[in-house]
Each structure stands twice: as C-alpha cells, then as structure tokens.
C-alpha cells in the first residue's frame, strides 16, 4: 500500500507505523519501504523504533531505496547530487521490494511516499504518475490543519484522475465535530462508493514517545479500519477469475485474424507501462509491435493520461457537424505547422482504415468535381496493406494479403510490382523497382484517380524498407501525368522512419 500525504507534516511516517502495527497484530509479516528519502533523518529507522518492540513475535523489516542527503524535495535534492533515479529505475526498485515482501508468505508492504501525489519524484515527474503503472492500493493521510480540507480533496482528485482511487483517508487529529475529517467525509458522501474517512487522536508532541499513543484503543481501532479498507478495496491485480475470463474470451470473443472455431492462445494482460505489457501472472513482455503501431509513445504516458482525463472531464465527444471546439482546432494547427508546404487542410478520422477510405473518396470527388469522373481507379504496389474496410481492402495486395476471400466483390484496381528492397548502391544504379510503376501509370493515367502506397516501409507486407528515391520519382511522375498521390503514413509517420 502506498501512503501519500495531503500536505507536508501531516504524519505519513506515524501513519505508516500505525499501519505496520495493525498488520503485525494480524500476524502478517510487514515490510516498510521508503522509496525516496531526503535529509539526514531516516523514516525507516523511525518506523522500526515505533513498531519494533510492540508486537511479538515481530516480523518487521524496513529499508530505504534511494537516499539524498539534502533536506528538500526529491527532485531538488537529486539534482544537487548530480541527478537521481529515473522513473523506470524507481519502479523497478519498488517492484523488487514487493517481490522480496511476497517471498515472506502472508505479508504486507507499506510504501511511504515523499509527500503528496503531485510531489516530484527525483526525475521531477509527479509521484502518482511514477507509481501509477504499479497499480498498488493507496491511502491519503489528510491534512487536519486550517486549509487542509481543500488540500485533502485535491490529493484525492489527483489520484482519481490517474485511476488510483484511495482506499481510505486517514486524519491524525481533526476528529472533532467541526474538524476536517467530518468535512471531507461529507464532501465524499455523494459519490457512489465513498472512501472511508478515519480520524484518530493527535499524537503527543515530539520528542514524547508514541508508545502509549499507539496503544490507545481509538488509535488501534482506527488503523485496523484503514487496513481493512485497503484489503477490501485493494487495487492489486488478482489472479482470481483469470482462467474464467480467458475461458469466456475463448468462447465468445472473436479476435482479429483468428479462427472462430479454432482460436489461438491469447495472453491475459492486466497492465501496461512504457514498452512493456504486464501479464496477469506478473510476467512482463516487451511489446515489439507497439499495439499494431498505435502506441508510438508507449503505454501509461503521464502527459497523455493527464490530457485524456482533463478532456473527459470537459467533454468526451462533440460531433463536427456544424460544431467545433478548441482542442480539435489546436490539433489541426499543430499538424498544419509540421506538414510540408501546401498541405494545409486537416480531416480528422477515428482509425487508420477510415482515414484511407476518406483519402480515396477525396481523390474520387476531386476528379468528379473537375469533370473527369472516368478517373475512378487507384494504382498501388503489391505487398501493400492499407486496412480492413472495403475501400482499403481493395488497394491491399490481392495475392499475398489477408483479403482473398473478398476479391470477387472488391473494386478492381491496378497493381505494380513492389519497390525493390533498399540496399547500398541501389539508388545510384536505378535498381529501385520503379520501372513497373512507371509503365502502369503511363498506360492507365487517364483512368487513375490517385496512387496510394506506404512510404519508406511496407509494414504488414513484410517490413520491406525501400529507397526514398522511389518516392521522389513517383511524385514527379504523378505531377507529369495528372495523378493524385496518397501517402499512407499510418504505420510510418510521426518520426517512425526518421
């Protein structure tokens, strides 16, 4: 369980010690972990001091993963020491600590963060974004001081925006009838399943020991309630039910390019982060296909998650029929700004296949509006792939493609030989395979609306990389013969080919 604070000096270490004691009282082994510590003091040592002699037999360990000596925020302290742990490095270290904890049988791992959800990690990334891929349960230690109601609710909302719903809110102090715990409890009440808000009496002021306070029945009961909430609302993925849902998948879910009567094996995934998919059994796989080229920036990217959450809170979808909105216009402005000169119009589509359909229809409409309706066929190359809708299938390779079943009902277009695979010296010698395309266009230009092909790389056709000179020749020939040119960059655009 991750322990976040709504503010500084709200008692995260005391709360962590109380959780450890509650778990020890249940007979669990307890591992306290401080992922990032700053300053000369050690929260791990403090937790051991608070808990070490309270329950017998004690099965308690404590460790600090990264320690920076300067007593300030992790990002600033790490910078002063020449740079700190990266996000992935920090997650790996925490994952290793969790593995060590799980090796101890029935155990709980209490991870005390360095501040609140949006406090910076050593890399300056918000802590909640760093830890989100781990999918751990968490609690928030509320701020019982003046102004703490807003700070506590903001901490909860920042976690919720990252799909990290806190299992409980704990106030150390603030249990009075007019205290912050009561106000936060009331603010959460309208939700469908409000988190429990627990308040325990304030501990004695330092350096008074916490021994008697930790034995106070109200304190013991409060921490037991928080621990129960963590267990009841745990976000930890469980293997329970995996076999059942995979079996249901096999019987009722038809996956792409898969036999319905003899489906192949599927791997159940529970999370994804960076380039990795995490399976239900905890194993991690590198997604070398980037989710069919869609996850160009990887998975669980904090900036993308935040942008999506912010947009959903404003509007999930607005039709473009007679309406517009700022995010779409800003996106179009960015695209026009990075496109070659002359490409200054943007049509937004919802998938690769649909974008190909739109491009084909645009080409047909262009010639119809120019009074040339006979230019209604398309030219392309073999080994190409452009999608699975009907118009897109018609310009995919009819021999080696995946759509031979539909050949009889698809429009019949024109196919040149594929570009020659790029190799050293091919461009200079003219061995780029362009002759086939040139012959085809010179023979059929009068009926061809446009040429469509994947630039640089034919992806599904076998990752066939060819010389850019082919495209330069094609551009010039299309201009000469009055043929439009469509580049399908769904798998190759946005920097994928350099």
Give Cβ neighbours of residue 4 (< 8 Å, ≥ 6 apart): 12, 113, 115, 116, 117, 127, 128, 138, 139, 140, 141, 155, 159, 166
**Lowest-pLDDT choice from 159-168, 262-271, 476-485:** 159-168
pLDDT band at 76 (very low <50, low <70, confident <90, very high): very high
pLDDT higher for 366 or 298? 366
Do 308 and 211 lie in a common domain?
A: no
| CATH assignment of the domain containing 446 | 3.40.640.10
Residue 211 lies in a domain: yes
Q: What is the pLDDT of residue 328?
A: 94
Answer yes or no: are the C-beta atoms of 40 and 69 closer than 8 Å.
Answer: yes
Percentage of the chain with pLDDT > 90? 54
Do 295 and 190 lie in a common domain?
A: no
- 133-156 in b/e form (b: 16+ CB < 10 A) is bbbbbbbbbbbbeeebbebbbbbb
Q: What is the mean pLDDT of residues 359-366?
A: 98
* Angstrom distance (rounded) from CA 14 to CA 139: 13
Averaged pLDDT score across all residues of the chain: 88
Do 230 and 296 lie in a common domain?
A: no
Q: What is the pLDDT of residues 111-122, one digit of tens each?
A: 999 999 999 999
pLDDT band at 380 (very low <50, low <70, confident <90, very high): very high
Longest C-alpha distance within the chain, in Å? 95
Q: What is the pLDDT of residue 41?
A: 85
**435 SS3 class:** helix
Tally DSSP H helices, then E strands, for the chain.
18, 16
Q: How far is CA 200 from the centre of its chain?
A: 37
Burial of 314 (0-12, 13-18, 19+ CB in 10 A): exposed
H or E stretch at 285: strand 284-286
Is it true that the peptide bond before 57 is cis, omega within 30 degrees of 0?
A: yes
pLDDT band at 304 (very low <50, low <70, confident <90, very high): confident
Assigned token pair, 180:
């912050």
- 88-103 in b/e form (b: 16+ CB < 10 A) is eebbebbeebbeebee
Do 124 and 197 lie in a common domain?
A: yes
Do 40 and 93 lie in a common domain?
A: yes
* Angstrom distance (rounded) from CA 250 to CA 266: 9
Residue 255 lies in a domain: no
Residue 322 lies in a domain: no
What does the DSSP assignment read for 334-376? HHHHHSPTT-------SSHHHHHHHHHHHHHHHHHHTT-TT--
Quote the Cα angle for 482-483-485, to 5°.
135
Q: What is the pLDDT of residue 235?
A: 45
Residue 325 lies in a domain: no
Do 28 and 140 lie in a common domain?
A: yes
Residue 498: is its pLDDT beyond 80?
A: no
Do 9 and 118 lie in a common domain?
A: yes
**8: Cα within 13 Å, side-chain hemisphere:** 4
Assigned token pair, 229:
């909430």
Answer yes or no: are the C-beta atoms of 207 and 46 closer than 8 Å.
Answer: no
Answer yes or no: are the C-beta atoms of 138 and 164 closer than 8 Å.
Answer: yes
Q: What is the pLDDT of residue 237?
A: 47
Answer yes or no: are the C-beta atoms of 352 and 387 closer than 8 Å.
Answer: yes
Count up the domains in the chain and report the number. 3
Q: Compute the CA torsion angle 323, 325, 327, 330 (nearest 10 deg).
A: 90
What does the DSSP assignment read for 134-164? G---EEEE---STTHHHHHHHHHHHHHTTT-
Residue 387: is its pLDDT beyond 60?
A: yes
The domain containing residue 305 runs over which residues? 267-316
Do 182 and 132 lie in a common domain?
A: yes
Percentage of the chain with pLDDT > 70? 94
Q: What is the mean pLDDT of residues 249-276?
A: 89
Residue 425: is its pLDDT beyond 70?
A: no
H or E stretch at 381: strand 377-381
Q: What is the pLDDT of residue 64?
A: 94
Residue 246 lies in a domain: no
Residue 330 lies in a domain: no
* Angstrom distance (rounded) from CA 338 to CA 343: 10
Q: What is the mean pLDDT of residues 55-65?
A: 76
Assigned token pair, 301:
């990217």
Q: What is the pLDDT of residues 5-42, one digit of tens each?
A: 998 889 999 999 999 999 998 888 899 999 999 998 89
User: Residue 172, Cβ neighbours under 10 Å: how many?
Assistant: 25
pLDDT band at 178 (very low <50, low <70, confident <90, very high): low
pLDDT higher for 345 or 313? 345
pLDDT higher for 211 or 151? 151
* Angstrom distance (rounded) from CA 198 to CA 191: 17
Quote the Cα angle for 449-337-334, to 5°.
100
**Both ends of the chain: CA-CA distance in Å?**
42
* Angstrom distance (rounded) from CA 12 to CA 480: 72
Residue 366 lies in a domain: yes
Residue 89 lies in a domain: yes
* Angstrom distance (rounded) from CA 311 to CA 326: 11
Answer yes or no: are the C-beta atoms of 257 and 52 closer than 8 Å.
Answer: no
Assigned token pair, 462:
């076998």
User: Residue 208, Cβ neighbours under 10 Å: how many?
Assistant: 10
| CATH assignment of the domain containing 228 | 3.40.50.300
Can you name the residues that pair with 140 across neighbouring β-strands? 4, 169
Q: Which parts of 103-240 fold into alpha helices (H)?
A: 127-131, 148-160, 180-188, 211-215, 217-232
Rounded to 10°, the helix 12-25/43-51 angle is: 40
Do 312 and 353 lie in a common domain?
A: no
pLDDT band at 445 (very low <50, low <70, confident <90, very high): very high
Do 124 and 194 lie in a common domain?
A: yes
Do 271 and 161 lie in a common domain?
A: no
Do 283 and 401 lie in a common domain?
A: no
**454 SS3 class:** coil
């Amino acid at each position: 369980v991750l322990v976040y604070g709504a503010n500084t000096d709200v008692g995260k270490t005391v709360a962590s010690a109380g959780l450890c004691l509650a778990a020890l009282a249940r007979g669990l082994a307890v591992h306290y972990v401080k992922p990032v510590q700053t300053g000369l003091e050690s929260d791990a040592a403090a937790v051991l001091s608070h808990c070490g002699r309270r329950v017998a037999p004690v099965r308690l360990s404590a460790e600090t993963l990264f320690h920076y000596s300067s007593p300030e925020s992790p990002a600033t302290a790490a910078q002063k020491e020449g740079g700190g742990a990266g996000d992935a490095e920090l997650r790996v270290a925490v994952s290793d600590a969790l593995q060590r904890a799980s090796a101890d049988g029935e155990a709980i791992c209490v991870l005390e963060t360095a501040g609140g959800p949006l406090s910076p990690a050593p890399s300056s990334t918000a802590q909640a974004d760093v830890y989100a891929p781990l999918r751990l349960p968490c609690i928030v230690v509320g701020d019982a001081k003046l102004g703490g109601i807003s700070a506590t609710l903001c901490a909860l909302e920042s976690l919720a925006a990252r799909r990290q719903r806190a299992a409980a809110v704990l106030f150390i102090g603030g249990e009075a009838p007019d205290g912050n715990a009561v106000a936060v409890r009331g603010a959460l009440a309208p939700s469908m399943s409000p988190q429990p808000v627990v308040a325990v009496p304030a501990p004695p002021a330092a350096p008074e020991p916490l021994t008697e306070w930790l034995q106070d029945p109200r304190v013991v009961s409060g921490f037991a309630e928080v621990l129960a909430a963590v267990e009841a609302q745990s976000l930890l993925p469980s293997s329970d039910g995996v076999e059942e849902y995979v079996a249901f998948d096999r019987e009722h879910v038809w996956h792409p390019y898969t036999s319905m009567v003899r489906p192949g094996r599927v791997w159940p995934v529970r999370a994804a982060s960076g380039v990795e998919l995490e399976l239900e059994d905890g194993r991690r796989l590198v997604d070398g296909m980037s989710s069919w080229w869609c996850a160009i920036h990887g998975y669980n990217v904090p900036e993308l998650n935040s942008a999506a959450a912010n947009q959903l809170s404003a509007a999930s979808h607005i039709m473009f029929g007679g309406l517009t909105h700022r995010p779409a216009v800003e996106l179009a402005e960015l695209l026009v700004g990075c496109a070659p000169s002359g490409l200054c119009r943007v049509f937004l589509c919802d998938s690769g296949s649909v974008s190909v359909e739109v491009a084909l229809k645009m080409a047909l409409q262009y010639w119809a509006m120019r009074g040339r309706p006979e230019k209604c066929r398309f030219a392309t190359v073999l080994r190409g792939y452009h999608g699975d809708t009907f118009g897109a299938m018609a310009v995919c390779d009819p021999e080696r493609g995946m759509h031979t079943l539909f050949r009889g009902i698809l429009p019949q277009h024109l196919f040149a030989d594929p570009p020659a695979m790029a190799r050293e010296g091919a461009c200079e010698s003219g061995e780029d395979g362009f002759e086939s395309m040139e012959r085809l266009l010179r023979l059929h230009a009068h009926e061809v609306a446009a040429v469509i092909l994947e630039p640089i790389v034919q992806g599904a056709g076998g990752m066939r990389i060819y010389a850019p000179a082919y495209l330069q020749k094609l551009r010039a020939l299309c201009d000469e013969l009055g043929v439009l040119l469509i580049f399908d960059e769904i798998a190759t655009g946005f920097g994928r080919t350099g």
